[in-house]
Amino acid sequence: MTLSPNEAADALRDMAAIETRSRRVYGYREASPHLILWGILWWAGYGLSEPWPHRALAIWIPIVVIGLAATFAISLSNARRRDAHVDRVADPKRRPEVARVRWGFLGMVLTAFAFIAATLAVMAPVTSRQVGAFIPLVVAASYAVVGLWQGLRFIVAGVVIAGLTLGGFFLLAPAHFALWMAGVGGGGLILAGCWFRGV
């Protein structure tokens, strides 16, 4: 039953490839509900901003708060599920997933807000249409970067979101940009979430 060095190397390579594939399938499945959630929120936020552009801030603040609360709840629920299946007796030093999610989420939200606020302050004055294009581009870039490690579908989602955002910004009449982002931006995220779920 002894293996040759070549057979051992092949086995290790195959095992690493399967671990990566499995990790990616898991990553897609975890990301799917978040994409669908934010797709619906984008659809609502941009859709309401179209008829009431001067109330965009009042529309978006509750939408972002709801989105962050729902994202946190989904992440926490997933972490609790993982914690419930870990044998604490076998690994008493392991830090609970719930604690990681709490601090990780807080750090991510603060970093994102700080980056977006600082960039908009540096670039000011900016129009609501520019803000409406900039934030999706940041999201798209984040997906593309995540995809470098987590799989091609994240990269495709990032490129499509960025392409649709830039297309709407530069090619459409300014009055129709919010409607465009509601339809293709929000709709694109929902479709991406369904695509991720189907892996």
Partner 1 sequence: MEQPDAVIHQPLRLKIMAALRGLPRGERLEFVRLRAVLNATEGNLGAHLGTLEKAGYIKVEKDFNGKKPRTRVSLTDAGRRAYADYVAYLRAILDGDGAAAASRRSRYAD
CB-based contact 176:37 (threshold 8 Å): no
Which of the ranges 10-18, 107-115, 143-151, 164-172 carries the binding residues for partner 1, by CB under 8 A? 10-18
Q: In the structure, how many helices (H) and strands (E) does the chain have?
A: 7, 0
- Closer Cβ to partner 1, 55 or 82, answer by number: 82
Residues 126-145 as x/- pattern, contact with partner 1 by CB under 8 A: --------------------
Q: How far is the CB of 100 from partner 1 (least distance, A)?
A: 10
Chosen residue from 90, 121, 122, 173 binding partner 1 by CB under 8 A: 90
Q: Is 178 exposed, middle or buried (0-12, 13-18, 19+ CB in 10 A)?
A: buried
Cα separation, 133 vs 129, whole angstroms: 6
State the binding string over 26-45 for partner 1 (x if CB under 8 A, else -): x--x----------------
Query: Does residue 194 interact with partner 1 by CB under 8 A?
Result: no
User: Is-cis flag, bond preceding 92, omega within 30?
Assistant: no
Query: Exposed (0-12), middle (13-18) or buried (19+): which is 96, by Cβ within 10 Å?
Result: middle
Residue from 34, 59, 83, 126 binding partner 1 (CB under 8 A): 83
Q: Considering only 22-30, 46-54, 148-156, 176-184, which stretch makes contact with partner 1 by CB under 8 A?
A: 22-30
- Contact between 122 and 150 under an 8 Å Cβ cutoff? The reply is no
CA end-to-end span of the chain, whole Å? 36
Q: Is 95 in the site for partner 1 (CB under 8 A)?
A: no
Interaction site with partner 1 (CB under 8 A): 1-5, 8-9, 11-12, 14-16, 18-23, 25-26, 29, 81-87, 90-91, 94, 97, 199
